[in-house]
Structure 1
Amino acid sequence: MRLCFWLVLFCVISPVVATEKPNVIYILSDDMGFSDIGCYGSEIPTPNLDSLAESGLRFTQFYNTGRCCPTRASLLTGLYPHQAGIGHMMDDRGHDGYRGELSRHCVTIAEALKPAGYRTYMAGKWHVTKAVDPKTEADKANWPLQRGFDRFYGTIHGAGSFFDPNTLTRDNEYVSPYADPLYTPADMANGTYYYTDAIADHASRFVKEHHENSGDQPFFMYVAFTAAHWPMHALEKDIAKHEGKYDAGYDAIRDARYQRMIDLGLIRRDNTVNFPIPSNAKETKHWDWDKRNMEVYAAMIDSMDQGIGRLVESLKATGQLDNTLICFLQDNGGCAEGYGRGGMGGPRADAPSLPALADDYLQPHMTPKQSRDGFPMRTGKGSMAGPADTAIGYGEAWASVSNTPFREYKHYVHEGGISTPLVVHWPKGFSRRGDLETTPGHLIDLMATAVDVSGATYPDTFHNGQKIKPMEGRSLAPVFRGEPLQRDAIYWEHEGNRAVRVGDMKLVAKGAKGPWELYDLSVDRSEQNDLSAEQPKLKKQLIAKWQAYAERANVLPLNPSNKK
């Protein structure tokens, strides 16, 4: 009798294992720089991300891969991108590291966590398959539901209009945002279809539906915003909040960010340089146009933060916030590409010149040919960004502001291309609040972290017996608790741009034929003082280390051309 009593009491006071497992939410933004959110020095208000940071952690030396699809492949699999088959973009370059398809020799976080009892959800940008116009179910083999997710709402392709995104998909079927019975204006946060809102609204919906239907299980959710990737599209109500904010100009905004970053402790004045923005990047003749681009960019980030706030509220409302591990990070640095910036544009016409599109029309183009209501797309200087009939990027000068105080941009593996915020929030998982974490990390660590905290077992084989490559990352859970992380090195390669970091020493090269440069990031985080001539022995050692990685991780041949 006494034994039975204690067994009953143990069962009452000890929750089942499933209830102890945390939910895991990874939130990824698109084409944003290290200093673009408030808690990392920005003038753009991001109160919801700031709140998560205040009651969690901010990493100051976390890294991505420098480009959108390699980052997504790496985040999802815990491998370096070439090992996952996506060393470049969605094109097959004739080698296993460059197939443009997520490999079957890897598993996604969703595939790894489902056997541990997790439900799995995704909202947003997928971008790890060439099959964006599938004809058969076989073509969807690398779509989210076929790679471990129970529910999906988002885009299969990598970029597009925020008002009329192409490849918009619910679960396994394309859907028009204007003929969707499951997401109508009444469901929309602003009553108007805007992709950033749609991603956040569906993520919030998944949280609530999970609580109602599967509340006895933990969940994993991947939320991949397309903000603030070009085209610069935003709702007028959000743009209005930022009008005039950038009147002071590129350098003044960048100087203010630099000082705030120092005041916040994110960087140090003695190991960074706020070097000048290239004069040829500044739009002195078209300043009103270019400051509008940054106002819209700010509005896009503002809108995303609002959506993250709604997601957090859904967790609070369902009692799930405290035991949910939330990580926010970015896929690459600020984007200096010249999308939509060439030539001269102009104001919108007084009336549409093209027929309106039917509600059930499925947008086939990354950049639409027209807006839904019949206005042709406008690009070039003088076309004020924001509305659905514009297609413009914010350019190199503003990307320099985004990447304060680092060198280079998206595509490259100098610090400006690969440095990302990492905001971590998990009240039940660790007791640190508002701390800065200086341990270097990489998004390959997110798989290892999810496997660790979930109690999942990373598989040796999967996909009908296919051998699975071992994880490359390290769990960040000890770091959350203030413990050290043991790591040999972190590696990069994209489009011939190469790097390896060991401790504080970083070897980096720009372009397949560019010379190797060597930096001590502990005293030179902005990569201004090349030590390669002073330390030839260390340079040689790190070159050999990078070469060994490249040979084992499907990186070679370096930057092959498209086989077509």
Structure 2
Amino acid sequence: MNSRPNVVLIMADDMGYSDIGCYGSEIRTPNLDALAAGGVRMSQFYNTARCSPARASLLTGLHPHQTGIGILTDDDGPVGYPGTINNRCVTIAEVLRDHGYATAMRGKWHLTGQVHEPNHAWPTRRGFDDFYGILTGASSYFDPSTLHRGEAPEPFTEDRYFTTVLGQEAAAFIDGQSVDQPFFLYLPFTAPHWPLHAPQDVVDSYRGVFDAGWDELRARRYRRLVESGLISGEWALSDRDDEVVAWADAGDHDWQARRMEVYAAQVELLDAAIGEVVQALRRTGRLDNTLIMFLSDNGGCSEEMPPGWVDDLPSVPVHMVATTRDGGPIKRGNAPAIVPGGPETYSSYGKPWANLSNTPFREYKHWVHEGGIATPFIAHWPDGRLTAGIDHDPHQLPDVLATVLEATGAGYPASFPGRDLLPPEGRSMLGSWRGTPTGDHRLFFEHEGNAAIRDGRWKLVRKFGRDWELYDLDRDRTELHDLSDQQPERVAALVAQWQDWADRCGVRPRGPIVASFDPPDPNALVVGSYRSSWDQRSQPPSLSGRE
């Protein structure tokens, strides 16, 4: 039997910091909780605040801007990013395949703007010998769009649920592997990204769980996080978002609770699919020598959707279908008249529940305050001599590739055919997981002009078009006490360091990108395009000026 470890890399989609049981949630996630109990939970791991950039960074060990995907898979040239993963990087799959690993992917790709005809950026051409999944960024869970097996479109039969099928497909891959060859399995789910879709029986099992409302549930999650040791009780729970009314003052409680019930069902079914993978590893005798990593691509998603019929849109977006399988219309949007869950709906859970998902932090997907970039991260590898418990060292996505290389003994290629490779940016986390602190290293972030740098305990962060804010994360990780006016010299030094990084890594100024957009149609921007971040809170009065 081969002694090199297998690697299983699992990513949730749009799931907040506190949305699984072992991170304070009331949602049932027994499989992830068991992996955490036998492994490492990271309290300060960071993503990049958005779907495509997170995937690009995770797979390549680079910052997303270096890969060509600074925002999403739209081509925003010439002032922006091409929106397709470029040839200056290699993926984990490409590296491990060259070191004798079998490679497979099950799930969401979202790293190319071309989702109908294969190009150099398809998973089959970036190191994955075996691919089953979708190429776009979201889809119906009952009738997924852009579904392919290899490079061929794949039909999706009725009465199936995409998350569950991904778990089954991943388990089947593991069952079919030779014990003499290690494998790398990348499993990026679409769950619990909108639309709110889940089987009725699982949704009904959450009836009443969220009736206390977002205010009380945020307080309960906060207490559990403190009691678990994941966060410090010195960090106050952030206030409810200013744009969210108190639960007591919110109308339509039954409908509001239903939104979260469906979301919770999506997370539970994600966990069940992961359980299928763990069972396959166990029955094939591979569990102990498999490095399993689990994380989310960004914080909880506050995106709302205006009500309407899908077929009333000027054109049906690639991630949607116009009708149900039996020809019935699909009602999109967030309104009490649209009860989410079934295939005839296309809704999101909105800002109030995203505020719960990101407990105890501020902000959401898109922003680089802690609510947008903090993710649960679980590492499990019984043969890897990990120190079970909580790891408080700060790390971010480029560190995953470095960790995989150290764990597998694979070297980063000095050259690659047809590629002018950039050196990887990350630092291995294995030492930290084995009880030796990594030591401080600066972490950098930028998405849509929202920017941050973390240097030890200090974090400098801003929204696009706003002033920089400074926080002492040892005392105030919930970012409630801005110290920028008190420490202008520290602010200036961190700004200079961030700008040096941004220049080196090819961060494009946000203003010209926004100015290049056609005048936005709010409906199209929210549900018809992945430029769904057009939110007036993140836009400055003037779009001119340098980052």
Q: With structure 2 as the length reference, what TM-score do the two structures score? A: 0.90
Aligned ranges for residues 456-535 of structure 1 at < 5 Å?
456-464=410-418, 466-511=419-464, 513-535=465-487
Mean CA deviation greater in 84-93 or 493-502: 84-93
Cα contact 1:82–1:97 (8 A) shared by 2: no
1:269-302 Cα deviation digits (max 9, x unpaired): 2123242343645672222111100000000000
SS at match of 1:501: strand
Give the equivalent residue in structure 1 for 2:357. 402
Partners of 1:431 and 1:62 in 2: how far apart?
A: 17
Pairs aligned (count): 507
Distance of 1:427 and 1:172 partners within structure 2: 36
Deviation at 1:487, TM superposition (A): 4.6
Contact kept, 8 Å, 2:308 with 2:331, in 1: the verdict is: no
2:26 paired residue number: 43
Deviations 1:362-395 (A, max 9, x none): x973121111122211234121110001000000
Structure 1 CA distance, aligned partners of 2:129 and 2:260? 37
Q: C-alpha displacement at 1:417, in angstroms?
A: 0.1
Equivalent position of 2:254 in the other structure: 288
| AA in 1 matched with 2:279 | E
Cα shift at 1:222: 0.6
Matched, 1:76 2:59: yes
TM-fit CA distance, 1:514: 1.1
Q: Give me the whole-angstrom Cα distance separating, in 1, the residues matched to 2:408 and 2:130.
A: 19
Answer yes or no: is 1:336 the counterpart of 2:302. Answer: yes
**In structure 2, distance between residues paired with 1:160 and 1:274:** 32
What secondary structure sits across from 2:507 in the alignment? coil
Write the distance in 2 (CA, Å) between the matches of 1:460 and 1:101: 23
Deviation at 1:486, TM superposition (A): 3.9
Q: What is the CA-CA distance between 1:32 and the residue it aligns to?
A: 0.8
* AA at the equivalent of 1:313: Q
List gaps (5 residues or longer) in structure 2. 518-547
Structure 2 CA distance for partners of 1:101 and 1:282, relative to 1, 3 Å:
farther
Deviation at 1:94, TM superposition (A): 2.0
Q: Deviations along 1:226-280, whole A, 9 cap, x unmatched?
A: 1100000001121111011111111111111111111111111212324234364
- Cα separation, partners in 2 of 1:46 and 1:547, compared to 1, 3 Å: same
The secondary structure found in structure 2 opposite 1:451 is helix
In the alignment, structure 1 residue 269 sits paired with structure 2 residue 221: no
**Structure 2 counterpart of 1:534, which letter?**
Q
Distance 1:248 1:152 in 2: 42
Separation in structure 2 between the aligned mates of residue 224 and residue 536 of structure 1, nearest angstrom: 41
* SS, match of residue 461 in structure 1: coil
The answer to whether the 8 Å contact 1:255/1:274 transfers is: no
Distance 1:22 1:95 in 2: 43
Query: Contact 1:27–1:223 (CA<8 Å) still a contact in 2?
Result: yes
Structure 1 residue aligned with 2:170: 203
Counterpart of 2:348, as a letter, is G
Contact persistence 1:199–1:225 (CA under 8 A): yes
Question: Which residue is 1:370 aligned to?
Answer: 323
Q: Which amino acid letter does the alignment assign opposite residue 175 of structure 1?
A: E
Name the counterpart of 1:188.
none
Amino acid at match of 1:552: R
Shift of 1:560: 4.0
Q: Find the counterpart in structure 2 of residue 321 from structure 1.
A: 287
Indicate the residue corresponding to 2:274 in structure 1. Answer: 308
Q: Does 1:437 align with 2:420?
A: no
Decide whether the 8 Å contact of 1:85 with 1:96 is kept in 2.
Answer: no
Q: 1:331 to 1:259 in 2, by over 3 A?
A: same
2-structure distance, mates of 1:396, 1:75? 26
Bigger shift: residues 496-505 or 475-484: 475-484
Residue 4 of structure 1 aligns with which residue? none
Distance 1:522 1:499 in 2: 16
RMSD after superposition: 1.8
The residue identity in structure 2 corresponding to 1:149 is F
Q: Which residue does 1:541 correspond to in 2?
A: 493
Counterpart of 2:121 in structure 1 is 142
Pair 1:559–1:131, CA change in 2 (3 A): farther
CA distance in 1, matches of 2:79, 2:106: 28
Tell me the amino acid that sits aligned with residue 508 of structure 2: L
Report the identity percentage: 47
The C-alpha deviation readout for 1:394-451, integer Å capped at 9, x for no partner, is 0000000000010100000000000000011000001422x11000010111111111
Larger Rg: 1
Within a 5 Å distance, the mapping from 1:166-205 to structure 2 comes to: 166-178=145-157, 192-205=159-172
* TM-score (normalised: structure 1): 0.87
Q: Which residue does the alignment assign to 1:250?
A: 214
- Counterpart amino acid of residue 413 in structure 1: V
> Structure 1 residues 560, 156: closer, same or farther in 2, change over 3 A?
farther
Preserved contact between residue 79 and residue 508 of structure 2 (Cα < 8 Å): no
Bigger drift between 501-510 and 473-482 goes to: 473-482
Q: Is the alpha carbon distance of 1:343 and 1:388 closer, same or farther for their aligned partners in structure 2, counting shifts above 3 Å?
A: closer
Superposed displacement of residue 28, structure 1: 0.1
Q: Distance in 1 between matches of 2:140 and 2:167?
A: 16
Deviation by residue 1:293-342 (Cα, 9 ceiling, x = unmatched): 00000000000101111110000000000000000000000000002xx3
Q: Give the conservation status (yes or no) of the 8 Å contact 1:78–1:446.
A: yes
Query: For 1:281 and 1:160, how far apart are their aligned partners in 2?
Result: 30
CA contact (8 A) 2:238 2:362 kept: no
> 1:560 and 1:103, CA in 2 relative to 1: closer, same or farther beyond 3 A?
farther
Secondary structure of the corresponding residue to residue 375 of structure 2: strand
Q: Counterpart of 1:269 in 2: which secondary structure?
A: coil
In the alignment, structure 1 segments of 5+ residues that lack a partner are 1-14, 179-184, 186-191, 346-352, 354-362
Structure 1 residue 176: deviation in Å?
Answer: 1.3
| AA partner of residue 403 (structure 1) | N
User: Does residue 108 in structure 1 map to residue 91 in structure 2?
Assistant: yes
- State whether structure 2 residue 11 is matched by structure 1 residue 28: yes
Separation in 2, partners of 1:36, 1:408: 15
Structure 2 residue identity aligned to 1:120: T
Q: Distance in 2 between matches of 1:282 and 1:290?
A: 12
The Cα shift of 1:103 comes to: 1.0
